[in-house]
Amino acid sequence: MNNNFPKHIAIIMDGNGRWAKQRGLKRTAGHEEGAKVVRDITTHCGKLGVEFLTLYAFSTENWSRPKLEIEFLMKLLEKYLTNELEVYLQNNVRFQAIGDISKFSNALQKRITLTQEKTAKCTGLTQILALNYGSRNEITRAVQKLVVQNLAVNEENINSCLDTAHIPDVDILIRTSGEVRLSNFLLWQSAYAELFFVQKYWPEFTSYDLDDIIDDFIKRERRFGSV
């Protein structure tokens, strides 16, 4: 495989609500359509040989949405993980979650843990869902762990206390829907990531769009601060 091929792709899946509004549908219809794209892109990354795909599914800031939308997203997540188990196993996909899942219902927490356990031996793509995730929250929790364990505050120790401890840095960070910001997503891990901002809303994003981004990435020269 090409040396420049990305190991870790991260995506801010934005624009579900606007996609739905444009079609006179409820915002929740956009999330449902978005969940289908999650499956397509995961399968595609697995086939391409990408090792890690991290998807921003629910942020620490998303709790400020209307209660009904939050409830819908929680149910959709639980349904998705339940239905997806067979697909993960068939496609040799390992599932992991990052973020503070202790704020979710017991049923959802159990479903997340079960999916992690059942797919733990899969050796293909690792799909990571960021759930109740925010970088500042993650870095704060990491520093708290260092203090409790009386460890030195240095980059290596902070890295090993992050939720992403055993996951390589992000190579490609994509955001859909035309918004150009990082919204508290993988700030530490994306220090040297190549950024791609796509106009399409998440429900319209296809594996062809991802192929174009990967082609572009392979052509870019990454100097990591060197000359």
Binding site for ligand FPP (CB under 6 A): 13-18, 31, 34-35, 38, 57, 62, 76-77, 80, 129, 177, 202
**What is the C-alpha separation between 17 and 31, in angstroms, rounded?**
7
The structure tokens listed for 165 are 């401890």
Which amino acid, residue 160? Answer: S
Q: Which is nearer to ligand FPP, 6 or 17 (CB)?
A: 17
Q: Which is nearer to ligand FPP, 77 or 173 (CB)?
A: 77
Nearest residue to the partner ligand FPP, using Cβ:
17
Question: Among residues 196 and 202, whose Cβ is nearest to ligand FPP?
Answer: 202
What is the smallest separation between the CB atom of 62 and ligand FPP, expressed in angstroms?
A: 6
Nearest to 23 by CA among 204, 180, 179, 175: 204
DSSP E strand boundaries for the chain: 8-12, 52-59, 94-98, 126-133, 172-175, 194-197
* CB nearer ligand FPP, residue 38 or residue 98: 38
Q: In whole angstroms, what separates CA 85 from the centre of its chain?
A: 17
State the catalytic residue, choosing from 2, 3, 16, 62.
62
Active site residue 62: yes
In sequence order, which residues have a C-beta less than 8 Å from that of residue 214 and are 6 or more positions away? 5, 6, 48, 172
Q: Is 83 a catalytic residue?
A: no
Q: Which is nearer to ligand FPP, 14 or 51 (CB)?
A: 14
DSSP single-letter state for residue 101: G
What DSSP string describes 33-80?
HHHHHHHHHHHHHHHHT-SEEEEEEEETTGGGS-HHHHHHHHHHHHHH
Enumerate long-range contacts of 64-72, CB under 8 Å, 24 or more apart: 69/27, 69/28, 72/28, 72/31
Residues with catalytic roles: 14, 62
